[in-house]
Amino acid sequence: MDPLFISGIIVFAVLGLIGVAYINHALENAKLERARKVAEGNDRVRRIDYMLADLPTHYLQKGLLTFLLSEKLFTLKQMLPYAPKDQQINVQKRIELTQEEMEAPPAPATTPLQISSESQAAEIQSLLQDAHRVLVTGAKAGRVSKADAKKYNALLKHLLVVTSYDAFRNMATQARREGKIKLALHHYMRASADLTKNNDNNQYTEQIQKLRTLIKHLQEEEERSRNKGKAQPAAETDNQLSQKLDEITSPEDEWKKKNVYD
């Protein structure tokens, strides 16, 4: 047999093997890429579900609920063509359920969740930070307009501040009930400091003034407790102070409900 012919067969065989290997490699890469997209999509949907389930219901207003659901819907639709055939029916059902939620969102809670500890506040703030990351991704991809991105960014920042404030206020109230005036003062001072730190556009100025008034009253109460004989009758003093504190620290503070991006 002609050596040249044999060489040609060998070269052809080698090229064929290389071609098969390349095709297999490309198919494997495509398979891995599909799996990666599905895994990333599932992770993103899971994080959004955590936010929807664990954020206080009254936080999911002013369009924030709709925004999170729309991002969830986008992610599910993006996943659908990459999901294995046996999973596509499940993804399609999740798409339909999300669309139904967007069309008929749940009614807001009549009683806001009471945030009573720093650990509880930290968990909620972590979810709000996750929501901010979802917002940044959506804005970069062009799914969220600049106006909406600015609006939701301001809202999320406001909710982070409100979360800390509620935790400090509730801890201070509990300390006050237990007669721990110094501890109550500590929590109110932290609430005041946190509002002051985030008061760039003066939206919290009024509440800061109220907190300072409250702190002054508590300091006066503490001073009276050291000089009981010189103070007015304890029952009258406690009554007046409790009234003042209730006025200043009402859970339904209007400043928290204001639309911060109006």
Q: Pick the range with the lowest mean pLDDT from 125-129, 168-172, 233-237.
A: 233-237
Q: What is the mean pLDDT of residues 199-205?
A: 91
Instruction: State the pLDDT at residue 76.
Output: 96
- Band the pLDDT of 212: cuts 50, 70, 90: very high
* Residue 59: pLDDT over 50: yes
Model pLDDT for residues 243-252, shown as the tens digit of each residue = 555 555 555 5
Cα 205 from Cα 199, distance rounded (Å): 7
Q: What is the mean pLDDT of residues 194-201?
A: 93
Contact yes or no for 153/135 (Cβ under 8 A): yes
Instruction: State the pLDDT at residue 243.
Output: 56
Q: Which element (helix H / strand E) includes 2?
A: none
Cα 218 from Cα 209, distance rounded (Å): 14
* Residue 126: pLDDT over 90: yes
HSE-up (13 A, CA, CB side) for residue 61: 16
Q: What is the percentage of the chain residues whose pLDDT exceeds 70?
A: 78
Instruction: State the pLDDT at residue 51.
Output: 95
Instruction: State the pLDDT at residue 25.
Output: 65
| Residue 149 CB contacts under 8 Å (≥ 6 apart), including other chains | 135, 138, 139
Nearest to 255 by CA among 208, 216, 217: 208
Instruction: State the pLDDT at residue 113.
Output: 85
Instruction: State the pLDDT at residue 235.
Output: 47
Tell me how far CA of residue 191 lies from CA of 19, 35, 38, 118, 253, in angstroms.
68, 47, 43, 12, 14
Q: What is the percentage of the chain residues whose pLDDT exceeds 90?
A: 56
- The average confidence (pLDDT) of the chain is 84
Q: What is the mean pLDDT of residues 172-196?
A: 93
Contact yes or no for 195/212 (Cβ under 8 A): no
- Treating both helix axes as pointing N-terminal to C-terminal, what angle do 205-226 and 181-197 enclose, rounded to 10 degrees? 160
Instruction: State the pLDDT at residue 36.
Output: 86
Cα 142 from Cα 138, distance rounded (Å): 6
Instruction: State the pLDDT at residue 239.
Output: 53
Q: What is the mean pLDDT of residues 14-43?
A: 77
* Residue 24: pLDDT over 80: no
HSE-up (13 A, CA, CB side) for residue 8: 5
Q: How far is CA 141 from the centre of its chain?
A: 20
The DSSP symbol for 82 reads G
Model pLDDT for residues 67-106, shown as the tens digit of each residue = 999 999 999 999 999 988 888 999 999 999 999 999 887 7
